[in-house]
Structure 1
Amino acid sequence: MIYILMLMNLIFNLIIMILIFLNWLISKNLNYLEKNSPFECGFEPFESSRLPFSINFYLISILFLIFDIEIILLLPMMNSLKILNYMNWLYSSLVILLILYLGLEFEKNEGIMNWFL
């Protein structure tokens, strides 16, 4: 029984070594200029990739995340109407909407919503 396990282990190791050798033999070193250059939708890069981006794109994504979380919080509130009485459900829904509205007003007052900087 031990000899069979030793033979299987030897065959397994031999197969692994053959596969590693074949991988080394077949593979090519593909470190040429096209592989190392940045890829932009099939076009050559027009500008440096280290240029700063517009802050407006960042702000739009933050606003999207805020209102996406609002949807995540408000959709389960429809199912909780079956469990809670109407006044508790209305109060909790209005608190969530009020917090989001106050946050939006704060952003507007701070000038975050001003797109023409």
Structure 2
Amino acid sequence: MVESYLPILVFILIAVGLGVALPALGFILGPTRPDDEKLSAYECGFEAFEDSRMKFDVRYYLVAILFIIFDLEIAFLFPWAIVLDKVGLFGFAAMALFVGILLVGFLYEWKKGALEWE
């Protein structure tokens, strides 16, 4: 029984070994010439101008919710469409409820102005 899992164990050991060895080799063999310019903090190519612990605007979270809404909808609609003839009216009603809940989230996003870019 253990012999059948030996190839998997060897694969895991090789993967872990490479995952540790390659970054370690890069760290050891890579050139390190730090100077003040390289060690300075930057934000998108220029100096940071605010504290990193500032509060984010709620629109960032609204955009994330919007992505989840559309991502989930697409991810669940494809398998449902494939088996629609097998699930019948109950499956159709369940998916209609699911899409309705996503529609409520989408309308909330629309009302909050997450779709308006400045």
Q: Shorter-chain TM-score: what band?
A: 0.5 to 0.7
Deviations 1:84-113 (A, max 9, x none): 23x2332122111122223445x46xxx71
State the Cα RMSD in Å.
Answer: 3.5
1:94 partnered with 2:93: no
Bigger radius of gyration among the two: 1
Greater relative contact order (Cα < 8 A, sep 6+): 2
Q: How many residues align?
A: 88
TM-score (structure 2 length as normaliser): 0.52
- What residue ranges of structure 1 are gaps of 5+ in the alignment? 1-19
> How far apart are residue 55 of structure 1 and its match?
2.2
TM-score (structure 1 length as normaliser): 0.53
**Percent identity for Structure 1 against Structure 2:** 26
- Structure richer in helix, relative to its length: 2
- What residue ranges of structure 2 are gaps of 5+ in the alignment? 1-24
CA separation in 1, counterparts of 2:96 and 2:31? 63
Aligned to 2:47: 45
Amino acid in the other structure paired with 2:37: E
Aligned to 1:5: none
Q: Secondary structure of 1:91's partner?
A: helix
